[in-house]
Structures are given as C-alpha cells and as structure tokens.
Chains A and B, each alone.
Chain A
Amino acid sequence: MKQYPEILDALYEVLQPFVGEKGVVLSEDTALVGDLEIDSVKLLELMMEIEDRFDISVPINVLPDITTVKDLALKLEELLN
C-alpha cells in the first residue's frame, strides 16, 4: 500500500527530466502539458514508465482526466490501493 506523499515524490523523480531548461519548479499544480510541454506521444511513453515503476496497469482511458501532477498522483493512489 502506497501513500499519497510517497507517490508524489516518485512522480517528481520521473518528471524531473521534463523540467530541462524550462525553469519549472515541480509541484502538485504543475500541468503536464501546459508547464512541462509533454505532448500526447511523450505522455503515453511516460505512462508506460510509471506503470513499470509502480508495477500497475494504468489504462490510457484515464488520461483525458489528468491535467496536473496532482491529478496523476491521485489516480495512481486510487489504482494502487
């Protein structure tokens, strides 16, 4: 069983490479597309990485509901528990 803060920390780690030169400070409110410029193809690749990291299945059907890091963390918490 994974707690929300633990999931969030893991997500910050996975998302760090997308920060690059953008000067974005990762937070729960960081928008995956708007702030980190993760396009649809990169997002799909990222989800596979997240699935492997947490050893879960994240159906791509849930992606339209995910805008921010918090949305993603909450969804992972739901799927993990």
Chain B
Amino acid sequence: MSIFDKFGAIASLRDDFMELGVNPFNVVIEEVLSATEAVVNGRRTILAGTNNYLGLTFDERCIAAGKAALEGQGTGTTGSRMANGTYAGHLALEEELAEFFGCPAAIVFSTGYIANLGILSTLPGPRDPILLDADSHASIYDGCRLGTGEVIRFRHNDAADLDRRLARLGERAASALIVVEGIYSMLGDQAPLQEIVAVKKKYGAYLLVDEAHSLGVLGEHGRGLVEQAGVADEVDFIVGTFSKSLGAIGGFCVSRWAELEHVRYAMRPYIFTASSSPAIIESTRVALAVLKDQGGELRARLWDNAHRLYLGLQRLGFSLGPETSPVVAVSLGRSKEAALGIWHELLARGVYVNLVMPPATPNSNCLLRCSLSAAHTPEQVDAIVEAFAALQTQVAAC
C-alpha cells in the first residue's frame, strides 16, 4: 500500500482533465496583457474570474512603488514579523489600515488565508464557542480547526438560526465569536449584517466580519459591508485581504479593541511565516491610498459592470446567485463532466471564469463563477455575455 493511494480519485480526475487538454484547476496564464486580459492556451482571453475588483494590478502608481521598494529594500525580508521581518513599511501599512477603518489596532499578515488562520486559531480559547455561517470560506474553517474553540455552524445568512444556536449556549454565548463574510465568494450574496449585529448585541457576543470580497466594493468609502450597513461600532474584528481589491497579496485584521495588539504575540501562523516582501507592502500602501482617493469612481465602474453582466445573463435565463454583485455565479447541474465541458467551451471562446465543483459549492451544484473588475470595458462584459449565450443549450441540459 502506497502513501499516495488515498489520492486515487484525484489522480483519476486529473487524468480526465489532461485528456481534455486543459486542467481547470491549474490554468496557466501564459502572458498577462492587462488587468482584464491574458494569453491562455495561446489565445487572447478575457479574464472574468480573478477577483481583481478595482483593477489595480497594473496601476502605474502601485507598480512604481513596488519597483522602488524592490530596488531600495531588496527582494524579500527573509524573516517573520516576530524576528527580522518587520520593516518600517509593514508598520506604516498597519497604521494606514487602522486609520482607514477608524480602529485603534491593525495587524498585517502575509496572506488573507494566514490572517484567518492566525486570528481564529488564537482568539477563541479552549471551549470558547465560535459560531460560523455554514458557507464560510475554507480559511475560516481551517483557522478554527487549528485552534481550540468549539465550532458551531449556523444556517447561511440566517440570523434567526444564529439566535437559536446562541440561546442553547446559555451564559457561554457572551464569550462566543460570530464569524460572517461581507460578500460570500461563491454566490456573491451579502450577509444580513444588521440582523446579525442585533443578535450579537442580544447575547453580548463578539463579531468578526471577513471583508475579503467586499473591501473596496461596498460602502461609501469602500470599507466594506460593515460601513455599508452602518454597524462599524458593533463589529469587533474585520479581516481582509490585499489580493483582491488591492491587487497584491497579504491579509489584515483590524479591531475596535486595542487589545488586538496583544494577540499578535500569540498567533503561530503569524509568528512562523515569513513576512511580505517590501515590494508587496509598498504597492499595497499605494493601492490603499488609491482606494481612499479614487475608490468611488472605480466602485461605480465595477458596479456598472456587475449590473451589466448580471442582467445580461439573467435575460438569457441563466440561474444566478440571489443578488447583483461583482461575483456573478451561474449555477449548473451536478454533472462535473458537463460543467467541465461548458467551462472549456467558454475558454475556447476567449473567456476565463472559475469552475467550482462540489464540495466547494454551497448547494452541491457545479458553478461557473464570474468576477468583475472596474477595469473591464462594457464591450468585454458584453463579450462575456455573448460567450454564455452561445452555450445556452448546453447549460440548460447540464
């Protein structure tokens, strides 16, 4: 018996993909042409599945800042934040994030995944309850798994269900940490945050909102769903990422509690990971400044594109997520083979979207997940709709 035997099903699926000539879970971007276009399989392709919401990956100011840091500070820090890996830029970014959110404390992590791993594995102590929305991202589940808290799921976006589960905890509810997301990555739907906050207040629990897909996308100043819902004073922790709206890589946690600073010294995923390179930190700082200064204009373009795609696909009769969002998910059937065929056809027509299969999907159906960017032109969005329109029959039969 080989140590690899347990990966037999994965190996078989991979072989099927290779026969098709392209693996949807290992797509190679052969050449990046812009924030919205690349060469894939030798063909010019519209990128409609990159989470590059504000289109800042090719922003000249961000690139210049990254270049200057690369030349002036080197290629990497070669150490963790707790050792030699905290440069002035890391601290400056933390201060800028704290100011942006109006919070007294902020911590920068090397990825968004590590941010959730660090916070959720450390903040809840042994047997402290963690109440998770059932559709939470894998990084949230994994962070809880690494820690010692008791993990209880509540039904997706169902504040009444959360209420019932907190009630069962009795006095322990006051130490519970509730975790929700601003925009859920698969279907693009938003958390009913005001209702969640009302339940949180009823029990005196704590609330963490992951704004990975909503930073820069929601709220008058782009601070996310917390700002849009007007509940900043009631949310205890906000986690987010630099790898979507800010066009780089990294993660953060900000809090209305200054004591977050103490947690920094206890988080193993933070302590034992090399810190972000200076180039990443400096491009992120500039991206955050762009978000502050010009975010409104970018957001308006992003939402125009989101409405254009959602309405275009809705008119064609596709089954979509419950609300218009920069994440537009086309629901297919359960057949992975059929979903793969449709995804491949879209790629052949010059449109890249994400193919998502169960168990990563919320309802056991396969999804074609599109994400829009402020950098998409209306013509590109129309081209995405046309590519889907050409596959209507296959999707209906899927």
Contacts and interface: CB of A to CB of B under 8 A. Distances in A.
B134 A57 contact: no
A47 B141 CA distance: 16
Interface of B: 129, 134, 150-153, 155, 164-165, 168-169, 358-359, 364
Contacts of B359: 39-41
Nearest to A59: B150
B172 to A, nearest CB: 9
Question: Chain A: interface secondary structure?
Answer: helix
A44 B359 CA distance: 12
In the A-B complex, the 3 residue pairs with the closest CB atoms: A59-B150, A41-B359, A60-B151
A10 interface: no
B168 A56 contact: yes
A44 B168 contact: no
5 contacts: A41-B359, A58-B152, A59-B150, A61-B150, A61-B151
Given A41-B364, A55-B168, A57-B129, A48 B155 contact: yes
Nearest to B358: A41
Contacts of B364: 41
B49 to A, nearest CB: 23
Contacts of A61: 150-151
Contacts of A55: 168
Interface residues of A, number: 15
A61 B151 CA distance: 6
B152 A60 contact: yes
Given A44-B134, A48-B134, A48-B155, A57 B165 contact: yes
A50 to B, nearest CB: 12
Contacts of B153: 44, 47-48, 60
A58 B151 CA distance: 8
B169 A57 contact: yes
A51 B129 CA distance: 15
B165 A51 contact: yes
A41 B359 CA distance: 7
Given A47-B153, A48-B134, 11 more contacts: A44-B134, A44-B153, A48-B153, A52-B164, A56-B168, A57-B129, A57-B152, A57-B165, A58-B152, A60-B152, A61-B151
Contacts of A44: 134, 153
Residue of A40, A48, A51, A61 with most partner-chain B CB within 10 A: A61
